[in-house]
Amino acid sequence: MRIAVVAGGVGGSKFLWGLAQEVGEESLSAIVNTGDDIELHGLAISPDVDIVTYTLAGLVDTDKGWGFAGDTFHCMEVLAKYGQPAWFKLGDRDLGTHLFRTQALRQGRRPTEVADAIRRALGVRVRVLPMTDDPVTTHILVGDGPIRHLHFQEYLVQRGAVDEIRGIEYRGSARAHPSPEVLAALREAEAIFLAPSNPVASIGPILAVPGICECLRGSQAPIVAISPVVGGQSLKGPTDKFLRWAKVEVSPMGVARLYDSVLDGLDGMLIDRADAGEAARIEELGIRVRMEEIVMRGPEDKRRVARAAVKFVEEL
């Protein structure tokens, strides 16, 4: 079965790793958020694409959820001594990826081609596809007086997501286009999953690229979302803050209603057993529900969630 997964970073990468173990890497395509991409120290950095790739390669630092396991940060220490910003931690091995990406982009290669070269070099057989080859950047509007615009990484990493969200912009999305590879992956898919990533900050930028929503709406493949919320809490990061800003209930029901509205329909939703009370409400929307323990702490958790998702989609 050919499967496409629409994904952000940490949550998406865990789900993708589990799927790769259950169904094999060759059948998977990951369509990954690039709204978080940022340029620092003259380098092109694509955090979500790299997290997904490192995770699938078995190289990610599982404690942090990003970067290479066992990496060092000597370069950042030296940059800090020179008075350069060091709030966005780039490991010494990780810098090799960013140097390669930056050079390749300057040589005229597309982000999709660069991501493909990186995943192949690291032995990953899943197709890791940036959502677009065009620049799209997520900015968060904050401030009680004059509104300030923060790059998503400034909001999340530098400031620790402490600011109240006043607005969100997917800059450049209106002029962006999905790559031919992304469109092909969606059109060829026999099943499509929306990973348990932030629906507003990670999945939202992907769906904001003109052509992607239309492709999903026209797909004959069943579309299943994995809830990023368990018991009213985010599985990872400040998903709850983003949902509240969007006036979305922080629950599987809220996420189901959001996706159902944006996509003009959702076939299924995998929710945690802790949210069993939500099942009937979701099914009233015409969305099938499957319950499983979906918190992914270790390898077996990831495989269990992936197994449940695949079995669910096969029954739709």
* pLDDT at residue 160, rounded to an integer: 96
Model pTM? 0.96
Mean pLDDT of 97-112: 98
Domain presence at residue 207: yes
Mean pLDDT of 214-242: 95
State the pLDDT confidence band at 101, using cuts at 50, 70 and 90.
very high
Instruction: Supply the range of the domain harboring residue 197.
Output: 3-33+125-134+174-315
* pLDDT at residue 42, rounded to an integer: 97
* pLDDT at residue 235, rounded to an integer: 84
CA angle 87, 157, 62 (to 5 degrees): 100
Which residues, listed in sequence order, are joined to residue 234 by a DSSP beta bridge? 229
- Give per-residue pLDDT as tens, 62-71: 999 999 999 9
CA–chain centroid gap for 4, Å, is 13
- Domain total for the chain? 1
- Residue 192, SS3? strand
Domain presence at residue 298: yes
* pLDDT at residue 256, rounded to an integer: 98
* pLDDT at residue 204, rounded to an integer: 98
Mean pLDDT of 45-58: 98
State the pLDDT confidence band at 236, using cuts at 50, 70 and 90.
confident
Q: Kindly state the tokens that stand for 293.
A: 């323990």
- Residue 188, SS3? helix
CATH no. for residue 198? 3.40.50.10680
- Give per-residue pLDDT as tens, 164-177: 999 999 999 999 99
Domain presence at residue 252: yes
What does the DSSP 8-state code read for residue 26? G
- For the chain, the average pLDDT equals 97
* pLDDT at residue 22, rounded to an integer: 97
Domain presence at residue 94: no
- Give per-residue pLDDT as tens, 250-295: 999 999 999 999 999 999 999 999 999 999 999 999 999 999 999 9
Domain presence at residue 232: yes
* pLDDT at residue 145, rounded to an integer: 84
Kind of pairing between the strands at 268-272 and 288-292: parallel
For the cut 90, the answer to whether the pLDDT of residue 144 exceeds it is: no
Domain presence at residue 191: yes
Domain presence at residue 306: yes
Please report which residue ranges of the chain form alpha helices under DSSP H.
10-23, 47-56, 74-81, 92-106, 111-121, 152-153, 180-188, 203-207, 212-218, 239-245, 252-263, 279-283, 299-315
What share of the chain in percent tops pLDDT 70? 100
Domain presence at residue 82: no
